[in-house]
Structure 1
Amino acid sequence: MASNLKGPGIYLAQFAGDDAPFSSWDAITRWAGQLGFRGVQIPSWDARLFDLQRAAESRTYCDEIKGIAKANGVEVTELGTHLQGQLVAVHPAYDEAFDAFAPAAVRGNAAERQRWAVQQMLLSAKASRHLGLTSNVSFPGALAWPYLYPWPQRPAGLVDAAFDELAKRWRPIFDAFEDAGCHVCFELHPGEDLFDGATFEMFLERVGQHPRCCLNYDPSHFLLQQLDYLEFIDIYHERIKAFHVKDAEFRPTGRQGVYSGYQPWVQRAGRFRSLGDGQVDFGAIFSKMAQYGYDGWAVLEWECALKHPEAGAAEGAEFIKRHMIRVTEKSFDDFAGGHTDRAQIDRMLGLAGR
């Protein structure tokens, strides 16, 4: 049951900006290190911090990225490819909304945008290899999501066709990550075709149980769906290769429940919160992770409609530190034990002399 869980880490996507210290790789990693973080997850699309194309082509550039991070007391945990992964599969209803995730040259052209997204994922596989990373955190995209609720009735075969196509698009990406020695870890999330365990299994079957098709465990999305996020670890721990530490709360009323009535985040029954301000039982989660020997990073993904992000980051580093478990190498009752004596065992079981 050896566990070498690492942390605390922080996903930089919600913090990168045009103002210091969030506008450059050197400054933002120094900021993270000073807060007590030991790892940073890179939003691979944000050119203010990282050049994905260059990272895929140059080990020297990747060594420079790692060197700057190390000088500031942190290391790279994973590349985040949420925006690119999202664009691997987009239902036409979301074309215009998701165009903002893509460069101007491919906007308005769904086929070109999809090809660009796949190429980005292939680049991230090469970049991950150059950086020495073993996990990449992403979204799978969605074709079936508009048909989530079965009204009107779905035509027979619609969901199967959507998942078949999704698997077809991702299979060559997984193969590229196999060559890179890196897992693709999907964040199961509303808006994606993979949003819970059942949908993940439907997809996993279609990609032939591909060893690089894995999970980024984020309990906040499960709490808001009212899914048992602890049993999820029991079921899928072998596929969990990344971990977002994010809190949430669900407080249904007589007016709204899981769907939250189109309300803004502050007024939703289900909303994300800063670590420790929500309802997720992280003590139990970290215990489960230790039980199953999770040896990846515990990475803060900060999202909260109330608290200032810098306060959430500062509190989050300490929160994760408090919950990390150093796994024991011996049993608590070893003091009362003794050496193994087969003859004694036989006597105690009434088997002596037989």
Structure 2
Amino acid sequence: MKTIKGPAIFLAQFMDDVAPFNSLDGLCQWASDLGYKGVQIPTGESRLMNLDLAAESQTYCDELKGRINSYGLEITELSTHLQGQLVAVHPAYDLMFDNFAPDDCKKNPAKRTEWAIDQVKKAAIASRRLGLNAHATFSGALLWHAAHPWPQRPKGLVEMGFKELAKRWTPILDVYKENGVACCYEIHPGEDLHDGVTFERFLEATGNHSAVNILYDPSHFILQQLDYIEYIDHYHEFIKAFHVKDSEFNPTGKKGAFGGYLDWADRAGRYRSPGDGQIDFKTIFSKLTQYGCDVWAVMEWECCIKSPEQGAKEGAPFIQRHIIEATQKVFDDFAGGGFSDGEMREMLGI
């Protein structure tokens, strides 16, 4: 068993144009004051880090790490969620996902994909330079428009989609393997890796690549009505990153899993701050600890009701309360004793 590290916080949703949310130092001081011990850094946010420079310069990485450490914080993982999304984009989503790309890549899908692949590769090298062994990202999606099998999917379409997805990701995964970093895909609606079956499809398509791993976020499974506890039993060996985010699913006679195109606050399935939803985090922390998952518990704030400031303030003590100090003793050792083979045979009557 292994004690989960934390509490930590993902900085992406807290970026703003006002202090302290507009700079790395401001956010680090704020997070430290709230009781966090780690920060997960979105690499696409230039106010937090320069990914290109981090991939090139050990000096820069040492200075960045030292700067964050000076606030009593550690870097938990780097994130390329937005860049990973752009590794594979179906044409139906081109214009919407262009918002994640630099201006010189907009309306040029091939160039955008090339840029995204380069970014995610650089994050592997930067992670190694920073002494990190796990990375958080999205897989992107070529097949999401076909999630519901109507119109009827042509035979072989899904296999072709995963083959292409693996083709794009395998050279990236090779870089992660070379740098000793686990590439952790957040299993998420809208991605081709959105549940256990799709994770297994991708793993098989990559030839069971050793760099393929999971960022476990149970909030996405509530919205799919998937057993998020049993998921840990199936995939604990791949879980190398962990988002603490809550959600709830409250279907009615008018709306269900697809949500009726409603805004987040009005959907049956919606994200909540930790402790405000339906997720059994007590069992999740127990399972992850029991299986020895070496992860940081990173709060990701996404809530359609509560403010980010309140969510962050409550998040650190919430995580701290759930972290289990893994025991190094068996509770009934005190009642044990040493017995010889002969005595044990006598106990068994043999």
Q: TM bucket by the smaller chain?
A: over 0.9
Deviations 1:154-202 (A, max 9, x none): 1111111100000000001010001111011000111101100000000
Tell me how far 1:22 sits from its aligned partner.
1.0
Q: Distance in 2 between matches of 1:317 and 1:75?
A: 15
Deviations 1:205-229 (A, max 9, x none): 0111111100000000001101000
Equivalent residue, structure 2, for 1:301: 300
Equivalent residue, structure 1, for 2:20: 21
Report the aligned-residue RMSD: 0.7
Equivalent residue, structure 2, for 1:247: 246
Q: Distance in 1 between matches of 2:318 and 2:107?
A: 43
How does 1:126-145 map onto structure 2 within 5 Å?
A: 126-145=125-144
How does 1:78-97 map onto structure 2 within 5 Å?
A: 78-97=77-96
Deviations 1:69-100 (A, max 9, x none): 11111010000100000000000000000000
Tell me how far 1:4 sits from its aligned partner.
3.2
Deviations 1:215-248 (A, max 9, x none): 0000000011010000000000000000000000
Equivalent residue, structure 2, for 1:337: 336
- Aligned partner letter, 1:206: A
Whether 1:291 and 2:300 are equivalent positions in the alignment is no
Deviations 1:282-320 (A, max 9, x none): 000000011100122010001000001010001000000
Percent pairwise identity: 59
Equivalent residue, structure 2, for 1:315: 314
Q: Distance in 2 between matches of 1:339 and 1:266?
A: 61
Where does structure 2 lack aligned partners over 5 or more consecutive residues? Answer: none
Count of residue pairs brought into register by the alignment: 350
- Aligned partner letter, 1:262: Y
Q: Distance in 2 between matches of 1:46 and 1:183?
A: 22
Equivalent residue, structure 2, for 1:117: 116
Equivalent residue, structure 2, for 1:195: 194
| CA separation of 1:20 and 1:155: change in aligned 2, threshold 3 A | same
Deviations 1:316-339 (A, max 9, x none): 000000000001111111121112
Moved more, 197-206 or 339-348: 339-348
Where does structure 1 lack aligned partners over 5 or more consecutive residues? Answer: none
SS in 1 for 2:183: strand
Q: Work out whether residues 3 and 324 of structure 2, in 8 Å CA contact, stay in contact via their aligned partners in 1.
A: no
Equivalent residue, structure 1, for 2:169: 170
Equivalent residue, structure 2, for 1:76: 75
- Aligned partner letter, 2:152: Q
SS in 2 for 1:14: helix
TM-score by length of 2: 0.99
Moved over 3 A (4+): none
Whether 1:8 and 2:7 are equivalent positions in the alignment is yes
Q: Distance in 2 between matches of 1:96 and 1:280?
A: 34
